[in-house]
Amino acid sequence: MSETTLHVPDLTLTPAREFHPRNTRSDTSKMFGLSTFVGLMVASLENSMSKTRTGPLGVFTTYGGSIGYFAALGTSFQFVSSCSANLREKEDGWNETIGGAAAGCVVAFKRRTVGALFGYPLLFATTIGLLQWTGGKLSMGERAPMYAPDSVLDTKYEKQGFWEIVHRRPLSQTISELGEGRGISAKLE
């Protein structure tokens, strides 16, 4: 019986990337435009779903606060994370964690309570920091680092059907690695 080896790619959680200075003004203005557009869409949705008749300008007059709110959220996140990256001269998940805390402060200022002032920045920083640390897609067009290298993806493997067993370990190898017990015995019945 010939033994075959299965090559499993080594996937690491967000490897350290080389630092390149970020253009804070350009990144912040892009995020301002994007988050203002999202705020405009939310205000339009609120206007169309309201029971009062405000007309088409109600998007700006009645629900214009949503536009500014979303613009402040996105802009504060991007500005603080870009400044953090440039000041620390590192490209890692801590930059987005700090930016998430700044965005959480914007939410907390709208709520106007002390609990919110501590809770929302902690919630936003933890959520965005974990997302970035595990290879999330908040990086403005770069490829997420959790993907396998292209050399591993180009490797051809034998196609396995649902009920077929292509790669099976010999019983002697299983017993030598795990030992007997837990439903594994060396006796063949």
Query: Which alpha helices (H) appear in the chain, and where do they start and end?
Result: 24-49, 58-61, 64-88, 93-111, 114-133, 150-153, 171-178
User: Which of 11-15, 38-42, 82-86, 119-123 is predicted with the least confidence, judged by mean pLDDT?
Assistant: 11-15
Average pLDDT score over the chain: 77
Quick check: is 76 in a domain? yes
How many structural domains compose the chain?
A: 1
- State the sign of the Cα–Cα–Cα–Cα dihedral 128, 134, 138, 140: positive
Establish if 110 belongs to a structural domain: yes
> Full-prediction pTM beyond 0.85?
no
Percentage of the residues of the chain whose pLDDT score is greater than 70:
67
* Alpha-carbon gap, residue 25 to 173, rounded angstroms: 60
**Helix, strand, or coil (residue 17):** strand
Is residue 38 included in any domain, yes or no?
yes
Q: Which domain holds residue 56?
A: 24-133
pLDDT confidence band for 33 (50 / 70 / 90): very high
The answer to whether residue 3 is domain-embedded is no
Task: Kindly report, residue by residue over 89-133, the tens digit of the pLDDT.
Answer: 888 778 888 999 999 999 898 888 888 888 999 998 988 888 877
What pLDDT does residue 101 have? Answer: 92
Domain-embedded: residue 55: yes
Residue 131 and residue 93: Cα distance in Å, rounded? 9
3 DSSP assignment: -
